[in-house]
Amino acid sequence: MDRQPSFQLDPDIGFLADPKGQFVCGLLEDAGHQALFVGGCVRNAIMGVAASDVDIATDAQPTDVMRIAEAAGVRAVPTGIDHGTVTLIVDGTPFEITTFRRDVETDGRRAVVAFSSRVEDDARRRDFTMNALYADRRGVVQDPVGGLRDAQARRVLFIDDPVQRIREDYLRTLRFFRFSAWYADPAQGWDADALAAIADTLDGLQSLSAERVGAEMLKLLSAPDPTPAVSVMAQVGVLGVLLPGAEARMLGPVVHMEDGAVDPITRLAAVGGENVADRLRLSRKQGKQLEATRTLAGTSRGFRALGHLAGLEAAQGAAILRAALFETPLPEGWQADIASGTSERFPVAASDLPELEGAALGKRLKALKQDWLASDLTLGKDQLLGR
């Protein structure tokens, strides 16, 4: 076991200072069990990054967790009891408590696990060293696999053999790039062993469900700047397997144009690819936004017209993507123009053309609307009818 010297977190860090979390850990400890904060909350505390999820690991069996909670009058929900997870509700706040586990069998998508009393077993089944960090309720960190130094240096490394870790769950390939985009220090470079293992296991990506791939891709594309990660994904062949026809070339310019307004769908439109909405199982709303962004980016519509045609998010995405494609800066006030266009209504109604009916009426209204859009919504009803 590669333990690091004892490391103490600041006890005023959010999850350690939360009396509810302290209460849950105290319940388990008072019953003679370990209770350790694990994963993202510990990793982010070491990195000085905010964390939202707070997970607790324990050597107590799930049935013991249920019994301890019920004896204390705490609501316990067996959310994933077969896999070791019980959720305790403390004053309306849920805490997922998961028993230490070890893998018995894996098939690249899911694992058969057995419960364990050893934190070392639990750590060895995780993906990256920085995610296998544990802290007790006093903030003392336990580091079974050497993740502390990697978290401090912002290095994303697989635990032990990268090929084995990936073949246990092929989604870990995407998670490697996602965690690199969010947490890695670019100056550290890319781990050669990890990239070689990813290149050797591309075949397994085909076994992943579209929902899992889509969720990971959107998380990756939500990073402050996912360009380096997506570029390396393309170089090692991952991007081509997941999204045939996609490329990273336009992602950097789009990120530069965003000016802090991160939208993963706009970035996905920049990456491109075939049948993206289906391959990533996007929601209907996301699919419509993606299609509108890609389609309108190739037009010369004004900003108000974009807002009217596509709504705020897709119109802003189309404007950003178009500016990146044609290497033209976005003018001052472009976002306000788009917002204005979203609330504008076509000023001409059928009743304004009483002399026409049927197909002729429809054709005339369509032509007038095209004139209105071409003017970037500046022509009024009288101007349109007088044309």
**Residue 140 belongs to domain with CATH number:** 3.30.460.10
Query: Which pLDDT does position 288 carry in this prediction?
Result: 97
95, 126, 153 — which closes off a domain? Answer: 153
Structural domain contains residue 287: no
The range of the structural domain enclosing residue 356 comes to 346-385
Query: Which pLDDT does position 50 carry in this prediction?
Result: 85
Query: Which pLDDT does position 325 carry in this prediction?
Result: 95
Q: What is the pLDDT along the chain (387 residues), one digit of tens a residue?
A: 444 446 999 999 999 999 999 999 999 999 999 999 998 999 999 999 988 789 999 999 999 999 999 999 999 999 988 889 999 999 999 999 999 998 876 665 666 788 999 999 999 999 999 999 999 999 999 999 999 999 999 999 999 999 999 999 999 999 999 999 999 999 989 999 999 999 999 999 999 999 999 999 999 999 999 999 999 999 999 999 999 999 999 999 999 999 878 999 999 999 999 999 999 999 999 999 999 999 999 999 999 999 999 999 999 999 999 999 999 999 999 999 999 999 999 999 999 999 999 999 999 999 999 999 999 999 999 999 987
Amino acid identity, position 281: R
What are the φ/ψ torsions at residue 56 (nearest 5 degrees)? -125, 135
Judged by phi (left if over 0) then psi (alpha if -120 to 50, else beta), residue 201 lies in alpha
Structural domain contains residue 52: yes
330 in helix, strand or coil? coil
From first CA to last CA, the distance across the chain in angstroms is: 82
Amino acid identity, position 36: L
CA dist 96 and 55 (Å) reads 6
Query: Which pLDDT does position 1 carry in this prediction?
Result: 42
Structural domain contains residue 84: yes
Residue 336 in tokens: 């306000």
Query: Which pLDDT does position 163 carry in this prediction?
Result: 97
Q: For residue 48, count CB atoms less than 10 angstroms from its CB and return exposed for 0-12, middle for 13-18, buried for 19 or more.
A: exposed
Structural domain contains residue 358: yes
- β pairing state of 101-106 and 93-99: unpaired
Structural domain contains residue 301: no
153, 168, 195 — which closes off a domain? Answer: 153
Structural domain contains residue 123: yes
User: What residues contact 335, with CB distance under 8 A and at least 6 apart?
Assistant: 316
Structural domain contains residue 135: yes
118, 153, 188 — which closes off a domain? Answer: 153
Q: Domain total for the chain?
A: 2
Query: Which pLDDT does position 108 carry in this prediction?
Result: 58
Length of the chain: 387
- β pairing state of 134-135 and 35-38: antiparallel
CA dist 192 and 312 (Å) reads 42
Q: pTM of the full predicted structure?
A: 0.90
